[in-house]
Amino acid sequence: MIQISGLYQSATSSRVDEVVLSLKEGVILIRSGDAISEQFNYSSCKINSTLPGVPTSITLPNGAVFTPHTTGFKWPAKKQRWSELLNQLESKWHLVLASVAALILCVFLFIQSGVPLLSKYIALWLPSSVSEVMGKQTLLALDKLHVFEVSSLEQRKQEEVRARWDRLLAQSDLSITGYSLRFRSWSNGPNALALADGTVIVTDSLVKLMAEDLRQLDAILLHEIGHIENRHVLQAAIRSTIITTLYTLILGDLDGIAESILGSGVSLIDLAFSRDMEREADEYAYQSLKNLGRPMYDFSDALKTLKEVYEVDGESDHWQYLSSHPDIDQRIQAQSED
Amino acid sequence: MDVSNKNDGTLKDIIFTAGKWQYFKLWVVNMVLSILSLGIYSAWAKVRNTQYIYGHTLVDGVRLEYLAQPLQILKGRIVALLLLLSYIVCTIFFPLFSALISLIIYAVYPLLMVKALRFNLRHTSYRKVRFGFSGSTKSAYFNFLLLPILGTLSLGLAMPWVLFRINQFIYGNLLYGDKKFEINIKCRVFYKAVIISIISFLVPIAVIAPLLWGSFSDNPIILIGSIYASYFIAFLAFSVYSVLIRNHIVNSLEVKDIMSFKSNLGFGRYFWTVFSNLIMIIFSVGLLFPVARVRMLSVLYSATQVVLYPGIEELSSSSNELDSALGEEVSSFFDAGLSLS
């Protein structure tokens, strides 16, 4: 016979009574003071969740709840309940520490290899209309927000660069329809960028910087084509989607400040991936130059020319430039390893 | 502590018996199960985490109960995940639509807040009587959307009044069973709290800034250091506001003839806990979040007392109806959650 004291919570009101419960041969007796107040069949009672440090209550057939005073009290049951198993898992330190280690390893491995692989496959699987809409919207947004202004390059210069661009595409056996070149004026200096739909944007100052030696500009264009050929823009977008979603799901419980500080750590992961992509595009540029029978130093010369501008420009620009791109000296050296 | 009150109420401490590391273990095991099940188990994990915290919260020897069903939460979570995913995809892939989507989120925000409040309160019970929220969606739009816009238009001058109205809306619509909470907060306390916290932000800045003036440009470390220092001071000033308002609100809450509350939260203890929790969470990359949660609740509960009146024994218990968890889940993903502790 089991006898245990606890609280009896009535089903119909907020009343709570101090009672003694006894269980004998499958019958529960509830006694308050000396009088037996109620009697139930144990098999029709429901045992509630077991939680660490919380006494396990049972719901009686009349809807009332009995909660024992003793925390460790175990209700006799035919089979082990899920919450009891959980309760055991949750109280073992070595198991918990092993799970923490496994958790960290899983997250690390997933970010390190799972995310890039997954984004590569999704990028291949997505219809090309997605890239098209995405590229058009990005350009429109950049124009509308006046990040870019209309190019002020003279028509003759534009045509000269465009002719070289067409030749590059033809020589590399790339279809002209998948790519387009656009000129824009940008206040922050020489730059070129690739959009998802195959558009390459060249800033006026980049053309002016390399006007003396347009072979350098060709090499930069090949680097941008490398981004497009590898579907980098789409991959980056997919990657951000995965990381942001996971981050919200896992850390969504945190309050504002902690979440935003940890969130800025997420952007560091993004920068690391961005550097990998730059390296891939560099490799593409070097390889294409080689295939076209051009000297590979065209690209490293272009990087050197860019480096000079950004070093004169002051430290902050330099710093920002290096964070999303690999170290420029490393990129220049990469050629000699090929 | 049982002290008789003048209106035959008894003063009861809130006893919080949760262990930091006990909760940490429980949280980790449930997190691992959630990840292994690709997130499906997370609904069960949420119920279990909350059950643990509630099960360790005792008033007058009786524990709080969490009554939400995992399946309800799972359904809400799936829809919330789809919404979140489409939001992220839109902002990243289609930048032109993202402004439109932010606008939509802003527009449904009051609705989500009300749904989340209703859900959380409906599934919290004490002595078999459920809490609840009676605020209408219409007044939620007025309080959560229109008033902040007015406050901004007044260049912040009306903001303390807006905060006063918002709190009056939230707490004045709480229900215990079918009994409404009464709240007796004063607008001038909000003005006082805002002014004190602005002063506690400006005074340290006014003292430190002249000392460092001029050295910003030569030394980037001083510049970065002073940016962090100003964050710290802002955090401190915000804590001043939080403590003053928390004490004021809790002390003005009452369910007539049933219960009332007392709060004497001290600034030092509160600030130290919030700040050390923040540092702990950041350096553990979120892993010590459960420890931080228990620490925070311990401080809040130990500064709170409940006065119970005889009427508490004579309420009829609530029925077992279920609400949709959608609002709660969406708002917790989009950071619109509200915590009442």
Residue A8 DSSP SS3: strand
Average pLDDT of chain B?
86
What is the residue range of A13's domain? 2-76
Residue-wise over A95-127: b if at least 16 C-beta within 10 A, else e?
bbeebbeebeeeeeeebeeebbeebbebbeebe
DSSP A51: B
A188, A191, A186, A176: which is closest to A221 by C-alpha? A191
Interface contact A100, partner B, CB < 8 A? yes
Same domain? For A58 and A131 the reply is no
ipTM associated with this complex: 0.81
- Would you say A189 and A205 are in contact if contact means Cβ atoms under 8 Å apart? yes
Interface contact A88, partner B, CB < 8 A? no
Same domain? For A124 and A245 the reply is yes
Q: Is the pLDDT of residue B290 over 50?
A: yes
B146, B147, B76: which is closest to B118 by C-alpha? B76
Interface contact A86, partner B, CB < 8 A? yes
Same domain? For A38 and A138 the reply is no
Show the tokens assigned to B26.
Answer: 């429980």
Q: Where on the phi/psi map is residue A198: left (φ > 0), alpha (ψ -120 to 50), or beta?
A: left
DSSP A202-269: EEHHHHHHTSS-HHHHHHHHHHHHHHHHTTHHHHHHHHHHHHHHHHHHHHTTS-HHHHHHHHHHHHHH
- Rounded CA-CA distance B229/B160 in Å is 26
* 8 Å CB contact of A252 and B333: yes
| Tens digit of each residue's pLDDT (9 = 90 or more) over B296-337 | 999 999 999 999 999 888 888 766 555 566 666 666 655 444
Chain A positions in Cβ-Cβ contact with residue B26 (cut-off 8 Å): 51-52, 90
Chain B positions in Cβ-Cβ contact with residue A95 (cut-off 8 Å): 29
* Window from A12-26, A87-101, B205-219, B227-241 with minimum mean pLDDT: B205-219
- Which CATH number belongs to the domain containing residue A61 in this structure? 2.30.29.30
Q: Is the pLDDT of residue B32 over 50?
A: yes
How close is the nearest chain B Cα to the Cα of A126, in Å? 12
Chain A positions in Cβ-Cβ contact with residue B340 (cut-off 8 Å): none
* 8 Å CB contact of A96 and B28: yes
Q: How many CA atoms lie within 13 A of B175 on its CB side?
A: 19
How close is the nearest chain A Cα to the Cα of B93, in Å? 6
| Tens digit of each residue's pLDDT (9 = 90 or more) over B87-102 | 878 877 777 777 787 7
In a domain, A224, yes or no: yes
Q: How much is the pLDDT for B98? A: 74
Nearest CA in chain A to B278: A258
CA distances from B210 to A129, B8, B201, B204, B233 (A): 57, 57, 15, 11, 16
Of A133, A141, A258, the CB nearest to B281: A258
- Would you say A221 and A162 are in contact if contact means Cβ atoms under 8 Å apart? no
Choosing from A76, A105, A133, the residue where a domain stops is: A76
- Rounded CA-CA distance A15/A64 in Å is 10
Interface contact A105, partner B, CB < 8 A? no
Of A103, A134, A265, the CB nearest to B93: A134
* 8 Å CB contact of A13 and B19: no
Please compute the mean of the pLDDT values over residues B16-37 and round it to a whole number.
91
User: CA-CA-CA-CA torsion for A285, A291, A292, A296, nearest 10 degrees?
Assistant: 50
Please compute the mean of the pLDDT values over residues B75-80 and round it to a whole number.
84
| Tens digit of each residue's pLDDT (9 = 90 or more) over B140-155 | 999 999 999 999 999 9
Q: How much is the pLDDT for B10? A: 92
Please compute the mean of the pLDDT values over residues B256-282 and round it to a whole number.
93
Residues of chain A with pLDDT under 50: 314-322, 338
Q: How much is the pLDDT for B334? A: 56
- Would you say B79 and B329 are in contact if contact means Cβ atoms under 8 Å apart? yes
Q: How much is the pLDDT for A253? A: 60
Write down the domain spans for chain B: 186-251
Q: How much is the pLDDT for B336? A: 42
Of B32, B285, B333, the CB nearest to A262: B285
Chain A positions in Cβ-Cβ contact with residue B257 (cut-off 8 Å): none
Chain B positions in Cβ-Cβ contact with residue A49 (cut-off 8 Å): 48, 51
Same domain? For A258 and A132 the reply is yes
Q: Is the pLDDT of residue B244 over 70?
A: yes
Q: Is the pLDDT of residue B44 over 80?
A: yes
* 8 Å CB contact of A53 and B56: yes
Of A7, A14, A103, the CB nearest to B61: A7
* 8 Å CB contact of B28 and A103: yes
Residue B65 DSSP SS3: strand
- Rounded CA-CA distance A318/A311 in Å is 6
Chain A positions in Cβ-Cβ contact with residue B336 (cut-off 8 Å): none
In a domain, A292, yes or no: yes
Q: How much is the pLDDT for A316? A: 42
Please compute the mean of the pLDDT values over residues B203-215 and round it to a whole number.
79
Same domain? For A45 and A174 the reply is no
Q: Could you give the angle at which helices A256-291 and A297-312 cross, rounded to 10 degrees? A: 140
Q: How many CB pairs under 8 A join A and B?
A: 151
Count the residues in chain B: 341
Q: How much is the pLDDT for B325? A: 62
Interface contact A112, partner B, CB < 8 A? no
Q: How much is the pLDDT for B14? A: 94
How many C-beta atoms surround the C-beta of residue A260 within 10 A?
Answer: 11
**Residue that wins the pLDDT comparison between A309 and B129:** B129
- Would you say B10 and B308 are in contact if contact means Cβ atoms under 8 Å apart? yes
- Rounded CA-CA distance B180/A159 in Å is 76
Residues 34-73 of A with CB under 8 A from B: 49, 51-54, 65, 67
Nearest CA in chain B to A239: B92
Nearest CA in chain B to A92: B25
How close is the nearest chain B Cα to the Cα of A96, in Å? 6
Q: How much is the pLDDT for A292? A: 87
How close is the nearest chain B Cα to the Cα of A145, in Å? 11
In a domain, A169, yes or no: yes
Number of structural domains (chain A) is 2
Same domain? For A172 and A310 the reply is yes
Q: How much is the pLDDT for B330? A: 65
How close is the nearest chain B Cα to the Cα of A77, in Å? 21
- Rounded CA-CA distance A10/A39 in Å is 14
Chain B positions in Cβ-Cβ contact with residue A141 (cut-off 8 Å): 95-96
Q: Is the pLDDT of residue B137 over 50?
A: yes
Same domain? For A32 and A168 the reply is no
Interface contact B285, partner A, CB < 8 A? yes
In a domain, A280, yes or no: yes
Same domain? For A125 and A264 the reply is yes
In a domain, A95, yes or no: no
Q: How much is the pLDDT for A310? A: 73
Same domain? For A126 and A63 the reply is no
* Window from A185-189, B25-29, B219-223 with minimum mean pLDDT: B219-223
In a domain, A105, yes or no: no
- Rounded CA-CA distance A243/A249 in Å is 10
User: In what helix (H) or strand (E) does residue A58 lie, and over which residues does it extend?
Assistant: strand A58-59
Please compute the mean of the pLDDT values over residues B127-133 and round it to a whole number.
90
- Rounded CA-CA distance A51/B12 in Å is 25
